[in-house]
Amino acid sequence: MELVTKYKPIIDRAIQAIHERTFFAQYPEHPSPAIYGEEADKKGREKFQAQVGKKFEELLQGESSKWIGDEESPYLQEPLKISYPSYSVEELLSRADKAFHQWRKVKADKRAAILVESLERVKERFFEIAYATMHTTGQGYMMAFQASGPHAADRALEALAMGYEELTRFPEKTVWDKPMGKYNLTLNKEWRAIPKGVGVVIGCSTFPTWNSVPGMYASLVTGNPVIIKPHPGAVLPIAIFVAEVQKVLQEEGLDPNICQLGVDSFSNMITKELVEDPRVKIIDYTGNSTFGNYLEGLKDKFVFTEKTGVNSAIIDSAEDIDKVIGNLAFSLSLYSGQMCTAPQNFYIPASGIKTANGTVSFDEFAKKFADNVQGLIDNPKAGPFVLGAIQNKNTCDRVDQVENSKHKVVLSSGVIENPMFKNARIATPVVLEVDATQKEDFSQELFGPIALLIKTKDTAQSVALAKEMALKHGAISCGAYTTDPETREMIADEMSLAATPVSFNLTGGIYVNQHAGFSDFHVTGGNPAGNASFTNPEYVIKRFTWVGFREPV
């Protein structure tokens, strides 16, 4: 069956989901043997293990005389010794520029179908990607499977579906007939969606696929060739995606260099040379704000960024404070706070928190919170697997620096043993008490398992500080707890002015860290945490230009 016919139902359903914003997932998130097969996990683990120490030879983008690789497992604290073909910036760009003129002439429905086929093939490798993600990022097994596999594939499908819809929003041609009295003026009119040019996707070390595939697939579906420049410490997960795209392209008689992997090393980074080249027109980036701001300042580029931010939790009142604390403690501990949506600043009124069972004082909240975090850490069936491992040693150093600051330590960071990986790099959460007057100490992102319990005059000050942090330093998420409708509306209104989404009163199995494909917009693009939101129309329409032609009949 032709790919366009085969995958039209999936693309149509994805477009429907984008409009409805209700739950939809093309790729099931649970690694169930009933869904993926009894041997899927075992085969995926074995395939990953077989790749360790060897060349990754699946790419179809030309011979290379040099192979490089800097990945290290945070669980083993040993190099993976996987190497990838290395190409010069000129080689990558010249191949992409040549491929552009073939890819841009492929019809939108064919491009979309090719990309869905690639996702269907990636689906067969979700477990392999999960183990690759674990041993490059430090994510726990379940998160690694979900985030780098099904969730990433859904985000890719969302981006390509959004792109396809925008490409087909207007007719390709029409007859334009204007009555002029005794005669009609009749023109044939035609419109073409012209891609902008070569795109570069700059990956991050903690979420190598989830953060990269939206831009990758958005550019590809709109007709732009793409060079994926992964973080040197996390290459393999996204390399598998690229390999599968290349295989489908080649099978369809197209140049595999439409989608390339541009690997570099810590000692020889190519990112600046790559993005500053005039042939590069589109840039997608996830990472620190300093480099993100530099990218946004480049001329004649269409740049989509997700940068750093200071995420807040505002606690005003609650029905059940223990459920609130349990949810927040898990949110802090999940993947050791190494998520762009993890809460950092917890604003609590000095007068305490009103609950159904009376007022809980600031000190009571702090103790309960610390005890809950410690209880999670000490649970041998949960702690090691929720925390995962620390991707970068600099994060451990940051935890030590914070703990040795002037602030009262409510809970010290420590080290626990992962029963499966004795050498895992682990730092448990540190919790500090900070006064609202000490603004300079909570006005920056402290990436990692770090929580600041900030004592405020009242909820109004809590909201004002959370809003100020978002406006000045960016925020991607905000959690809020209140039983008062007027306070809820005040928080929603104030934080919306800071372009920060708010999750209210989460106490069950959903956390402020999580953003769902086809429903939640990830980053708003309205504050310094990033200039783009995936996936909304703006995320795709800037990747191509409508050009019209007309001629008398």
Of 361, 425, 356, nearest to 390 (Cα)?
425
Give ∠ CA 311-315-319 in degrees, rounded to 5.
Answer: 135
Alpha carbon 16 to chain centroid, angstroms:
22
SS3 496: helix
Q: Token digits for 543?
A: 């990747």
Walk along the chain (553 residues) and give the pLDDT tens digit of each residue.
Answer: 699 999 999 999 999 999 999 999 999 999 999 999 999 999 999 999 999 999 999 999 999 989 999 999 999 999 999 999 999 999 999 999 999 999 999 999 999 999 999 999 999 999 999 999 999 999 999 999 999 999 999 999 999 999 999 999 999 999 999 999 999 999 999 999 999 999 999 999 999 999 999 999 999 999 999 999 999 999 999 999 999 999 999 999 999 999 999 999 999 999 999 999 999 999 999 999 999 999 999 999 999 999 999 999 999 999 999 999 999 999 999 999 999 999 999 999 999 999 999 999 999 999 999 999 999 999 999 999 999 999 999 999 999 999 999 999 999 999 999 999 999 999 999 999 999 999 999 999 999 999 999 999 999 999 999 999 999 999 999 999 999 999 999 999 999 999 999 999 999 889 999 999 999 999 999 999 999 999 999 999 999 999 999 999 9
CA-based nearest residue to 477, from 290, 309, 293: 309
d(Cα 447, Cα 289) in Å, to the nearest integer? 12
Question: How distant is the alpha carbon of residue 233 from its chain centre?
Answer: 16
Cα 97 off chain centre by: 27
Architecture of domain 3-307+541-552: 3-Layer(aba) Sandwich (3.40)
Cα–Cα distance measured from residue 339 to residue 285, given in angstroms and rounded to the nearest whole number: 16
Which letter does DSSP use for residue 247 in this model? H
Indicate the SS3 state at residue 454.
Answer: strand
pLDDT of residue 508: 86
Asked if 478 and 462 count as a contact pair (C-beta separation under 8 A), the reply is: no
What pLDDT, on a 0 to 100 scale, did the predictor assign at position 495? 98
Which of helix, strand or coil describes residue 497?
A: helix
- Dihedral, CA of residue 479, residue 481, residue 484 and residue 489, to nearest 10: 0
The Cα 334–Cα 315 span in angstroms is 20
Q: Report the topology of domain 312-504.
A: Aldehyde Dehydrogenase; Chain A, domain 2 (3.40.309)
Sorted by where each begins, the domain ranges of the chain are 3-307+541-552, 312-504
